[in-house]
Chains A and B, each alone.
Chain A
Amino acid sequence: AQSVTQLGSHVSVSEGALVLLRCNYSSSVPPYLFWYVQYPNQGLQLLLKYTSAATLVKGINGFEAEFKKSETSFHLTKPSAHMSDAAEYFCAVSDQLGGGFKTIFGAGTRLFVKA
C-alpha cells in the first residue's frame, strides 16, 4: 500500500521568506501526486498535481512542486511567503483501486506566516 509522509506538522516563516513543505511517498509504480490546501473553516482545494507530464509542477498562488523519483519526494515550495498563505497543506497520492482511485493523505503541515 502507498503511504505519504509530511515532515513537520508545523512550519513557520516570515513574510517574504521561502516556503518549503516536505513530502515523501512510498510507491511501487509511478504515482499521481497532489498538494491540497485547507484554509480555516473551509474544505480542501487542489493546489497542484503531478501526473507524469513534467517533473516540475506549477500550481496556484505561486506554489510549485518538484517530483524526484530517486528521492521519492514531492516537496512544495514558494519563493516568497504571503500572509494569505497561512493554511494547512496536505500532500496526497492516488492509489489505483478497482475501477477508480483511492487517495491517501499525509498528516498535514500547518504553515504560519509571520509579519
Chain B
Amino acid sequence: DADVTQTPRNRITKTGKRIMLECSQTKGHDRMYWYRQDPGLGLRLIYYSFDVKDINKGEISDGYSVSRQAQAKFSLSLESAIPNQTALYFCATSDPWTGADTGELFFGEGSRLTVL
C-alpha cells in the first residue's frame, strides 16, 4: 500500500459543486501539503500544515480550504468549483525529525479533477 494515499484519483464535476479531496498518510510525518500541478507551471503550493493545529495558506489558496483532521489526514476542499480549478492535485508530506531536515517531500499519486 502507498504511504501517502489520495482519494479520489479522478473526479469530474460541474461548476458550483463542492468537492473534497482527501489525503491520508502512514509515514508518521507531521508536515503535510497540498500542491496543484498545471502543465507548464510546475507545482504550486495551495496550503500547508506543520502539525495538527497549524494551517497556513500557500501561494494560491483562493477558492480552496483545508482541514487537518489528524496527524495522518489532510483534506482539501473546493467550496464552489470553477473550470480553472481543473488540475492535478498532489498531497505531500515531510518529516523534520529524520536527521538533516531539508524539506524533502513524499508525494501521493495525485487526484485529477475536471470541472466542467
Contacts and interface: CB of A to CB of B under 8 A. Distances in A.
B58 interface: yes
A101 B102 contact: yes
A12 interface: no
A34 B43 contact: no
Contact of B40 (A4, A9, A41): A9
Given A32-B102, A105-B42, A99 B50 contact: yes
Nearest to A33: B102
Given A46-B104, A105-B43, A100 B109 contact: no
B103 A90 contact: no
Contacts of B45: 102-103
Main secondary structure of the interface of A (DSSP, over half): strand
Interface residues of A, number: 26
A45 B90 CA distance: 12
Interface of B: 4, 31, 33, 35, 40-45, 48, 50, 56, 58, 90, 92, 94, 96, 100-105, 107-110
Interface of A: 4, 6, 9, 32, 34, 36, 41-46, 49, 51, 90, 94, 98-103, 105-108
